[in-house]
Every structure is written in C-alpha cells, then in structure tokens.
Structure 1
Amino acid sequence: MQNYPLLNVFWTMLEFFLWILWFFLLFKIITDIFRSHDMGGGAKAGWIIFVILLPFLGVLVYVIVRGRSMGERDIEQAQKADAAFKQYVRDAASTSGGGAGGGHVDELAKLAELKSSGALSEEEYQKAKAKILA
C-alpha cells in the first residue's frame, strides 16, 4: 500500500471540486449563449467557438463582457417561470369540477358580487350558497 498524506487527499479533493465547478460554469455559459435573444446566430457561433477552443480564456472573457446581461436573463427566466406557475395555480383553482371544488369558487364569487350589488337578498344568497355547497 502506498503512502498518501492527508494534505494530498485534501489537495486532490480541491482539484476535483474545482473541475466540477468549472464544468458547471462552462455549461451555464453555453446555455446562456443559446438563451440570449440580443445576439444573432453569427455572434452565438463565435462565442461557442471561442469558449470551446480556448475554454479558460473564453469563459473569463464571456463573464467579463456579458456577465451583467447573463444575470438579467437569469432573473427574467425566473420571473417567467414564477408567473407561469402562478397562472397554472390560478387556472387549476378556477376550473369547474377540478378536484377540490374549484368551480365552486367562481360560483360563490359571482353570488357574492350579486349580493353586494343588491341583485340578491340575504335570504336568496344563503339559499343559493347552500345549494352550491351541497
């Protein structure tokens, strides 16, 4: 069995971690290049070639030149995903016959609106509400 000092183990783990970190950054930049709408096809191809042929220099230059817009695109993407999720929840909650009585929500809201406008009396409102919830 060969002697492998503890410091060498830590150094090897650090190198391994940095390589993994490097690949994550490289893939993040490549996906950002393709996601960017402000660049044309030629510029995207140029950046890809630069990042692949000279990876360390290409990634460093990309982060310096386009780092701010890269963050803005990440924020925009997160906001779009959040808005899509919220819209999905609203749609799922308002569909009639959907699981937990989502259609009743719309009907009760309409009844409350009719009651507040004076079109329904309190007694009519309570009867219609009981009918919906039954």
Structure 2
Amino acid sequence: MDAMTTSFGEVLLWSFWFFIWIAALMVWFRCLFDMFSDSSLSGWGKAGWAILLIFVPWLGALIYLIARGKSMNERQMAELVRRRAAQDDYIKQVAAPSGPTEQIANAKSLLDSGTITQAEFDALKAKALA
C-alpha cells in the first residue's frame, strides 16, 4: 500500500521536472523551426545544426541559442512586421469603400436609417469628394 502513496513533496518534484521537460521541448522545437525558416542559412549549415539538434538535443539547443539567439529575434521581429503590414493592407482593401460614389451612398443609407444627422452626412460627403 505504501508504494501507491506519494508525499506532497514527491508530487511537487514530479511537477517541477515535468514543467522543466516541457520548457526544454519548447526551446528545442523553437530552435528547429527557426533553423528551417532562416533563408540566410545554407543547406549545409542547416544539416549541421539539424545533426547537432537531433543527436545532442539539449546541448545543441543551448549552443544554437548562444550562437544564433540575436538573429532569431531579428527574424521573428521582421516576420511580425511583415505580417502586420500584410494584415493592415488587407484590412484597408476590404474595409475601405472603393470610391467617393460608394462612400456617399453608404453615408446616404446611414442618413436614411436615422443613424447620422444631416450635418454628419454633409461632412462625410465633403470628405468623400475631397
């Protein structure tokens, strides 16, 4: 019966090692994904890093972070900027009416529904025609 019971300290220690293991896996996969997404790294360079990361995973990930950590951050930030610009372009393309005629028609429909006042309609019309 004693083999089945564990103390609170043992459960805490198991939890600690489990979270350390998950964190190490996340770092390892991040290094692996970064390596394959880096277009400046040659095929031989990727092969070398892959061999290191596969055969000595935790030491390889640590060496990768030391050697290429700064460029990892730069690549990630550049990708975020690129995605943000693409998202902004898409939103502008979809959300903005195509021309002044459509803008005035949208404003007129808002005026007819009572959502905006005549003064607001005139301001939107002037803005569309400007």
2: CA distance, partners of 1:24 / 1:71: 16
TM-score (norm 2): 0.73
1:91-117: per-residue Cα shift (whole Å, max 9, x none)? Answer: 111254xxxxxx427x99xxxxxxxxx
Which of structures 1 and 2 has the larger relative contact order (alpha carbons within 8 angstroms, sep 6+)? 2
The percent identity for this pair of structures is: 33
Runs of 4 or more consecutive aligned structure 1 residues displaced over 6 Å after TM superposition:
none
Please name the residue that 1:83 is paired with: 85
Would you say the 8 A contact 2:28–2:58 is kept in 1? no
Please name the residue that 1:104 is paired with: 103
Please name the residue that 1:23 is paired with: 25
1:37-73: per-residue Cα shift (whole Å, max 9, x none)? Answer: 2211110111011100111111111001000000111
Give, in angstroms, the shift of residue 23 of structure 1. 1.1
Aligned length: 106
Give, in angstroms, the shift of residue 33 of structure 1. 0.2
Question: Per the alignment, do residues 46 and 95 of structure 1 end up closer, same or farther by CA in structure 2, a change over 3 Å counting?
Answer: farther
Please name the residue that 1:38 is paired with: 40
1: CA distance, partners of 2:17 / 2:59: 19
**Which consecutive residues of structure 1, in runs of 5 or more, have no partner in the other structure?**
97-102, 109-125
| Amino acid in the other structure paired with 1:30 | L
2: CA distance, partners of 1:95 / 1:28: 41
Question: Per the alignment, do residues 9 and 43 of structure 1 end up closer, same or farther by CA in structure 2, a change over 3 Å counting?
Answer: same
Secondary structure (helix, strand or coil) at the match of 1:4 reads coil
**Which consecutive residues of structure 2, in runs of 5 or more, have no partner in the other structure?**
108-121
